[in-house]
Structure 1
Amino acid sequence: MAEERILNRIKAVLAEKGKTNLWLAEQLGKNKSTISKWCTNDQQPSLETLFDIAQELGVEACELLASGKTKKEH
């Protein structure tokens, strides 16, 4: 069984900022299911969208990137 890689920290940063998936979906004009897929690392946003997310959350884009560990290593 292949281990899943955690590529982004969008879910964690949303929680740190007290924001929800629905709030982010509204800010970006995206479907809430798309945001959910990003938060679970099932899909990844484009690089441009990652910068848009960072801007909405008031963080640097690099804060949205994970260290590269797998879910099992966490």
Structure 2
Amino acid sequence: MNRIKEVLEEKGIKQTWLAERLGKSYNMVNGYVQNRQQPRLEILNEIADILNVDVRELIISNKEK
């Protein structure tokens, strides 16, 4: 599971903008945002760079703190 949707909302960024920056279709990015599919690690790193966040902010931990 990822937090891409939450990070986009926090930053006020639209999925269409992210799709353009990634060079991916809106449908592909929407799949990531809705957690219907998960991006490869390389893509997740690229998303983190574009959004200027640590890649760990985009991932929901499987461990409780």
Q: Same fold (TM over 0.5)?
A: yes
Q: Give the number of the structure with larger relative contact order, counting CA–CA contacts within 8 Å between residues 6 or more apart.
A: 1
Shift of 1:55: 0.3
Structure 1 segments, 4+ long, off by >3 Å, are none
Tell which structure's C-alpha radius of gyration is larger.
1
Q: Which residue of 2 aligns with 1:38?
A: 32
Q: Which runs of 5+ in 2 are unaligned?
A: none
Q: Deviations over 1:21-64 (max 9, x none)?
A: 00000000000000100011000000000000000000000000
Q: What stretches of structure 1 of length at least 5 have no aligned partner?
A: 1-6, 69-74
Equivalent runs, 1:1-74 vs 2, <5 Å: 7-68=1-62
Q: TM-score, normalised by structure 1?
A: 0.81
Distance 1:66 1:21 in 2: 19
Aligned CA-pair RMSD: 1.2
TM-score (norm 2): 0.92
